[in-house]
Amino acid sequence: MKPKYIFVTGGVISSLGKGLAAASLGALLEARNLTVGIQKLDPYLNVDPGTMSPFQHGEVFVTDDGAETDLDLGHYERFTNAKLTKKSNYTTGKIYDEVITKERRGDYLGGTVQVIPHITDEIKRCIRRGTGDVDVALVEIGGTVGDIESQPFLEAIRQFRYDIGPENVLYMHLTLVPYIKAAEELKTKPTQHSVKELRSIGIQPDIILCRSEQPLNRELKAKISLFCNLPPEAVFTALDVESIYEVPLSLHHEGLDDKVVSLLNIWTGAPRLGNWEQMLHKIKEPQHEVKIGIVGKYTALKESYKSLNEALVHGGIANNARVNLDYIDSEQLEELSAEKLEARFSGISGILVPGGFGNRGIEGKIKAINYARTHKIPMFGICLGMQLMAVEFARNCAKLNDANSSEFNPETTYPIIYLMKEWTTKDGSQTVTQNEDTPKGGTMRLGAHPCQLAPGSHARQAYDTDNISERHRHRYEFNNEYRDILEASGLQITGTHADRKLVEIIEINEHPWYLGCQFHPEFTSKPMKPHPLFVAFIKASLEQKQS
């Protein structure tokens, strides 16, 4: 029977790291030579996370096929080789959307359409087509057990065990075991309550993972076992660790993967974890250290730059360096005098301007970019960052004084970055049009697109290949009408979309490392396979520090 399913639920509170736990278990199973797939089911009503604010929901992660998904999918890709697609993330909104479409079409032949069985059937269908032909499919249910929103999902996974047989399904529940300082004790009561809740809807967890700042001893595990109706060997500590990349090893030392394969009746050898150990060693005992300034808008909320932060860590791993991040609110740079700007950037060896939307703080970012260009500090612009690098260059090098992106100033004389009004679809069959008033949902260039690199460029050097494919998520583009003028002033276009002639990478000469890319390289960086642009950027920043 393929695949076997592991359903991961969470109790007590959110943000316990359910996604990380699922991703880590996926990594451990892969280390045992099993193929894994991962899927996330989210109980909120938005049809996809694409239009949700990063303030509320953290980063929007983008897959190769252009799905805008929950940031946990980023963990899944960083930790495993699972192939993630549009089918890897379903929300309640999406499920209802499909059921209501079917109802309108008459597919239910006039029958009464209900949560059980119609919504739950649809959920089960999504689960079945979610992960493809793999040995083990991990399915994470978002939210916390007890939430009204997650009930249909829990009901669906309860039924699932009967549909495909108990030996093919495993329920893993993550809870919190808090340490109460005054009593000097770890408390199991919240876990008991949350499991009681789960059992009341008919799900008996096979494994309980207890998130805790201290290891649970044998007595505590026995207590949880007694109250939660499972053997003590099925209770594991998910210990707080310094680096997220320590989680797989920590869970392995607890014996989690051993238990999982034995419960699912899968026979494998011992896992090969040497590469995880080596990588972790580099993170924990690096030889160098470097400080990178991230100039952005959501700097108070690190979750909104999740993949970016990780990609910078990966770039550090490749260079044997600890990367310290200094988050700089771009708005606060706007008023600074030249000396104060200098002081703000002192000790920073590389500047990164990430992706973003909306007007706020734009001029501050341009100021930072100008600083990096004129002070010859390694500069990496991603998506919006690249667009603003082009704007800064146009204003100050090509002397196009009010140059801007039409996203921020529709009246600008020089729309260096603009909204494409019309284009032909990939297969040439359709002409798509849009303007500033087109509804925001689903109008972006999304997902993987090919890009050709120019010989001799920093980009070509970093990738060590001529043709690449990278993920996009943006509405605005570099305006080719200004290409000649900017190139005449020294801008180098070093990456272009082969058939659509879109500008994808810009650089300049006479600068140690100055590169902006229209795509999001951070989405495809992994600790074991750091992204070439992040490796090159950190390398240049380390050299900057040493010089």
- 140 vs 407, beta carbon nearer ligand GLN: 407
Q: Which phi and psi (to 5°) does residue 452 adopt?
A: -105, 135
* Nearest distance from C-beta of residue 344 to ligand GLN, angstroms: 23
Q: Which residues, at least 6 apart from 425, have a Cβ–Cβ distance to it below 8 Å?
A: 431, 432
Alpha helix ranges (H) inside 399-512: 458-463, 483-488
Q: Which residue is nearest to ligand GLN (CB)?
A: 355
Distance CA 132, CA 220 (A): 39
Q: Comparing C-alpha atoms, which of 488, 545, 535 is closest to residue 515?
A: 535
* Nearest distance from C-beta of residue 398 to ligand GLN, angstroms: 21
Out of 177, 366, 384, 394, point to the residue binding ligand GLN (CB under 6 A): 384
Q: Which two tokens stand for residue 337?
A: 């005098």
- 174 vs 383, beta carbon nearer ligand GLN: 383
- 55 vs 179, beta carbon nearer ligand GLN: 55
Q: Judged by CB under 6 A, which stretch of 128-136, 269-277, 447-455, 472-480 contacts ligand GLN?
A: 472-480
Q: Which residues, at least 6 apart from 395, have a Cβ–Cβ distance to it below 8 Å?
A: 366, 401, 402, 403
String of contacts with ligand GLN for each residue 348-367, x by CB under 6 A: -------xxx----------
Distance CA 55, CA 403 (A): 29
* Nearest distance from C-beta of residue 387 to ligand GLN, angstroms: 6
* Nearest distance from C-beta of residue 449 to ligand GLN, angstroms: 14
* Nearest distance from C-beta of residue 355 to ligand GLN, angstroms: 3
Q: Residue count at the site for ligand GLN (CB under 6 A)?
A: 10
Q: Which residues, at least 6 apart from 310, have a Cβ–Cβ distance to it below 8 Å?
A: 74, 78, 522, 525, 527
- 365 vs 395, beta carbon nearer ligand GLN: 365
Place of tokens 């580099």: 282
Out of 474, 497, 511, 539, point to the residue binding ligand GLN (CB under 6 A): 474
Per-residue CA distances from 473 to 7, 349, 425, 516 (Å): 30, 28, 16, 15
**Interface with ligand GLN includes 383 (CB under 6 A)?**
yes
Site for ligand GLN in 117-146 (CB under 6 A): none
Site for ligand GLN in 290-329 (CB under 6 A): none
- 339 vs 437, beta carbon nearer ligand GLN: 437
For the chain, the straight-line distance linking the first and the last C-alpha, in angstroms and rounded, comes to 60
* Nearest distance from C-beta of residue 42 to ligand GLN, angstroms: 21
Out of 5, 245, 371, 476, point to the residue binding ligand GLN (CB under 6 A): 476
* Nearest distance from C-beta of residue 60 to ligand GLN, angstroms: 9
479-490 exposure pattern, b = at least 16 Cβ within 10 A, e = fewer: beebbeebeeee
**Interface with ligand GLN includes 96 (CB under 6 A)?**
no
Out of 42, 68, 206, 407, point to the residue binding ligand GLN (CB under 6 A): 407
Angle at 36 between CA 150 and CA 73, to 5 degrees: 50
**Interface with ligand GLN includes 497 (CB under 6 A)?**
no
Peptide bond into 231 cis (omega under 30): no
Distance CA 546, CA 331 (A): 30
Q: Which residues are catalytic?
A: 383, 520, 522
* Nearest distance from C-beta of residue 517 to ligand GLN, angstroms: 11
- 186 vs 294, beta carbon nearer ligand GLN: 294
* Nearest distance from C-beta of residue 357 to ligand GLN, angstroms: 4
**Interface with ligand GLN includes 475 (CB under 6 A)?**
yes
* Nearest distance from C-beta of residue 89 to ligand GLN, angstroms: 19
Q: Between 274-284 and 306-318, two packed helices, what is the crossing angle to 10 degrees? A: 90
String of contacts with ligand GLN for each residue 422-461, x by CB under 6 A: ----------------------------------------
In which element (H, E) is residue 207 found? strand 207-212
Type of residue numbered 410: P
Q: Which phi and psi (to 5°) does residue 543 adopt?
A: -65, -40
Distance CA 517, CA 385 (A): 8
- 173 vs 474, beta carbon nearer ligand GLN: 474
- 19 vs 516, beta carbon nearer ligand GLN: 516
Q: Are 214 and 181 in contact (CB under 8 A)?
A: no
Residues in the chain: 547
Q: List % helix, strand, coil for the chain (3-state, nearest 5).
A: 40, 25, 35
Distance CA 51, CA 253 (A): 40
- 9 vs 412, beta carbon nearer ligand GLN: 412
Q: Are 453 and 460 in contact (CB under 8 A)?
A: yes
**Interface with ligand GLN includes 504 (CB under 6 A)?**
no
- 138 vs 446, beta carbon nearer ligand GLN: 446
DSSP letter (8 states) at residue 167: G
Residues forming contacts to ligand GLN in the complex (CB under 6 A) are: 355-357, 383-384, 407, 473-476
